[in-house]
Every structure is written in structure tokens, then in C-alpha cells.
């Protein structure tokens, strides 16, 4: 296991940047342990809803966690707006860093994560393999 602290810059897509970091290090499995920062655009998919909600403005990232694999990221976040209202859900593409995002990744070079169809859930779920 290898800790990789990252700082993302204004304009970066949160999800794409984290997936790119995994690929850049040649690792096939990783976890986002935590993240904080700010976003100017938020794309969150709420529980049981197929389409992400699009939010624009100044948002603070309160929590960020999830898994990263070559097949894609599965990230959840909670964000707050300028009035302190909190929303959370599945992070979709299009979450754009406003000033910074400080993220701690744990790279797991001895594992390979993949997303494969799970007959019980009906969704592409995490499969963990030790390499």
C-alpha cells in the first residue's frame, strides 16, 4: 500500500483527475481515503436516480471517498453550499475544482480492481483480485 497525496487545481475535473492519477502510477487498484476543497460545478447522482443533479456556484467538498479501477471510479461526496446546506451522492463527471482539491489516495499495487456485472444487484460492481 502506498499513500499518494494530491492537490488538484482550478478547472480540473475531480473524477477524471483521480482516474488519471491511478493510470499515471501504473496501478490497477486504489482508494480515495478522503478529500476536501471546493467546486464551482457539482454533478451528483442521488440514491435511486439515474441522472445526476447539476449544481453551479461555490461549493465546499466536505467528504470524498471511493474506489478507483482501470474500469472507472466509484466515488461519493458530500458538499455544502454558501448557506451551509449539505448534499451528497455519487460523483459524476463534471465536478470542477474551484480553488483546490486536496485528496489522499491509497494505491494498492498488489491488487487489481475491476467493475463487472453482478447478477444479484444488476449493476457493474467492484471485483477485487489479489495479483
**How do the domains of the chain map onto residue ranges?**
2-130
Distances (CA, A) of 128 to 15, 28, 46, 131: 21, 10, 25, 10
Residue 113 has what pLDDT?
98
Model-level pTM? 0.94
Q: Which residues of the chain have pLDDT under 50?
A: none
CATH entry 3.30.1330.80 includes domain 2-130: yes
Residue 111 has what pLDDT?
98
Amino acid at each position: 500500500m502506498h499513500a499518494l497525496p494530491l492537490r488538484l487545481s482550478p478547472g480540473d475535473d475531480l473524477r477524471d483527475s483521480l482516474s488519471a492519477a491511478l493510470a499515471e502510477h501504473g496501478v490497477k487498484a486504489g482508494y480515495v481515503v478522503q478529500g476536501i476543497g471546493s467546486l464551482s460545478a457539482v454533478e451528483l447522482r442521488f440514491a435511486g436516480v439515474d441522472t445526476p443533479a447539476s449544481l453551479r456556484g461555490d461549493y465546499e467538498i466536505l467528504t470524498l471517498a471511493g474506489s478507483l479501477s482501470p474500469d472507472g471510479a466509484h466515488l461519493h461526496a458530500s458538499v455544502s453550499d454558501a448557506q451551509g446546506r449539505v448534499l451528497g451522492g455519487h460523483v459524476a463527471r463534471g465536478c470542477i475544482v474551484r480553488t483546490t482539491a486536496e485528496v489522499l489516495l491509497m494505491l494498492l499495487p498488489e491488487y487489481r480492481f475491476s467493475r463487472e456485472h453482478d447478477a444479484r444487484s444488476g449493476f457493474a460492481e467492484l471485483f477485487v483480485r489479489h495479483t
